[in-house]
Amino acid sequence: MMKVNCIFCGYEIDVNDLFCSECGQSQRDEQQQNDEDIFVCPTCGAENAPGLNHCAFCCSIFR
Ligand SMILES: [Zn+2]
Ligand SMILES: [Zn+2]
């Protein structure tokens, strides 16, 4: 199981934990940012990393 450090206090917690077991802060801020950065291909609906000019799955050109 992967471990990550709490984004607030640095305590080592499980990567799937939503709250730090040490300071109790929610770890969702980072995940929500990542979700917003995902670009959904209008052609095939695949989720791509931001900044690409073509879909990594179906290769259609964006815009
Ligand atoms: Zn913490
Ligand atoms: Zn696509």
Q: How far is the CA of 12 from the centre of ligand 1 (A)?
A: 8
Spell 12-33 as b/e; 16+ CB within 10 A means b.
ebeeeeeebeeeeeebeeeeee
Mean pLDDT by 10 residues, the chain (63 residues): 91 93 83 67 92 93 85
Q: What is the pLDDT of residue 35?
A: 57
**pTM, two decimal places:** 0.43
Q: Is residue 52 part of a domain?
A: no
Instruction: Provide the token pair at 31.
Output: 């995940």
Which stretches of the chain are DSSP H helices?
Answer: 28-37
Place of tokens 């095939």: 44
Q: What is the pLDDT of residue 62?
A: 87
Residue 19 belongs to what domain range?
A: 3-38
Count of structural domains within the chain: 1
Q: How far is the CA of 30 from the centre of ligand 2 (A)?
A: 25
Q: How far is the CA of 18 from the centre of ligand 1 (A)?
A: 11
Q: How far is the CA of 9 from the centre of ligand 1 (A)?
A: 4
C-alpha atoms less than 13 angstroms from C-alpha of 55 in its C-beta half-sphere: 15
Ligand with minimal distance to 39 CA: 2
Q: Is residue 63 part of a domain?
A: no
Q: Is residue 54 part of a domain?
A: no
